[in-house]
Amino acid sequence: MKVLVAVDSPDGELLAAGIEREGVGVAAVVPASAVSLAAEDRMPGDEADAVVRALASADAVVVAASRAAITAQAVALCDRAGVRVLAWGDDPDQRRLCETFGVAAPIARDTPPWRVVEALREAPAPHDPAPARAPSGPRIITVWGAGGAPGRTTVAIELAVELARGGRHVGLVDADTHGASIALTLGLADEGPGFAAACRQAQLGGLDARELTRISQPLGRGGVDVLAGVNRPSRWPELSAARVGAALAVCRDWADYTVVDVAASLERDEEIVSDLAGPRRNAATLAALETADLVVAVVGADPIGVSRFLRAYPELRSAAGDARVVVLANRLRPGPLGIDARGQVRRTLDRFAGIDDVWFLPSDARAADAALLAARPIAEAAPRSPLTAAIRRFAGEAVVPPPTAEPSRRRRAGRAEPAA
């Protein structure tokens, strides 16, 4: 058994030393309020991550019985980690506090270490968290965009963050074989196993939800786990079509939603010039599109971006098969389009591709720069950015619409055309 001691100094160190003398390991000694602050996201990210990791490695936690330490969020975090909670205190008010949050009655501060260890073993098992509602809408969401950097990776990251709200688990997969960048954008290590390892394990039949959790990297504490892409473009043969399809199939059971960032290229030229069953450079993109339940097609909201998108859109429709395709115009601004930029993009897509439902994201260079500087999602670096608000609305209405509403009809009732 391993114990996390959440008691202020010097009592915390003395208690930890006594527990270790009884042959029980101590994961860490942290201030009394550390668990609640980490659960409520009210402490620096690095410190909170350290507390969460220590909690995950422990079987039980001894926490000072105080209002700053025992909160609903702290108890819920311990329950999710499968950790027993033992309160430490003497005051009658502390007993009532523990009863309020479903924690066993606290033990006295002068309890000998051997009795503390016994109490830890006898502490009630953690409550099972309430079963999450079955996720509605698409499970595999592939984010694609034509060449020219229309903002595929940014959209994929922000969409994953928004889908994770409400306690949902979201997988963020970088399947770009030309220029994987999710790990770099978020300040994560790209030397780890990542999505390539998931693909190899899937081919061998050894990939499951537990293995995906092991090789992924958590993005803060928001419920997003990242499978980083290949750190060198020359490694693209590792992401074959069969491997990618098998890995994404396992992702369906691993996460409530899986957001996949892919490259722009959709060409199948190598299949034309060779009849050998060799690796295909664009196989990962094509497999992710074929596996997807929903494809978010990102178009740069400028004349060049729209032109590139229209030329590639027929190939996208062919590759996506029966998957629903939602078109998202990114970085909308009047500069390159003049008057009524929104209307010009919408009319052009309708005239040349028959696309009559377009969502829009505003250009917010300041928020994007702040997020890149901090290596964090825009939703965290600039939570009040209009771009964050637009992505949130897009996720809630176009990607996972409310089950009791008809999104298109409801939106048009308030105004002529949908926008985000």
CA-closest candidate to residue 65, choices 96, 111, 26, 30: 96
Q: Is a pLDDT exceeding 80 seen at residue 197? A: yes
Look up tokens 């094509």; give the residue.
286
| Exposure on the CB side of residue 367, measured as CA atoms within 13 A | 20
Q: Strand, helix or coil at 64?
A: strand
What fold, for 140-414? Rossmann fold (3.40.50)
Domain residues of the chain, as ranges?
A: 2-122, 140-414
Say if residue 272 is exposed, middle or buried (CB neighbours under 10 Å; 0-12, 13-18, 19+).
exposed
pLDDT single digits (tens) 48-64: 788 888 888 888 888 88
Q: Is a pLDDT exceeding 80 seen at residue 149? A: yes
Share of the chain above pLDDT 70, in %: 89
d(CA 49, CA 215): 17
Write out the H or E segment, with its range, that includes residue 299. strand 294-300
Q: Are 308 and 300 in contact (CB under 8 A)?
A: yes
Q: Is a pLDDT exceeding 80 seen at residue 392? A: yes
Q: Is a pLDDT exceeding 70 seen at residue 134? A: no
What fold, for 2-122? Rossmann fold (3.40.50)
d(CA 46, CA 43): 8
Per-residue confidence at 301, pLDDT binned at 50, 70, 90?
very high
Residue 125: what pLDDT?
Answer: 66
What is the mean pLDDT of the segment spanning 190-209? 90
Beta strands of 101-248 (E only): which ranges?
140-145, 170-174, 217-218, 224-227
Residue 82 φ/ψ region, left for φ over 0, alpha for ψ in the -120 to 50 degree band, beta for the rest: left
Q: Looking at per-residue confidence, does 32 or 329 come out higher?
A: 329
Q: Strand, helix or coil at 398?
A: helix
d(CA 333, CA 252): 37
Strand partners, 300: 330
Of these ranges, 41-55, 156-170, 188-202, 285-299, the one predicted with the greatest mean pLDDT is 285-299
Residue 98: what pLDDT?
Answer: 76
Chain CA centroid to CA 21, Å: 41
Q: Which residues of 353-388 are buried (b: 16+ CB within 10 A; e: fewer)?
A: bebebbbbbbbbeebbebbbeeebbbbbbbeebebb
Residue 275: what pLDDT?
Answer: 53
Q: What is the pTM of this model?
A: 0.67
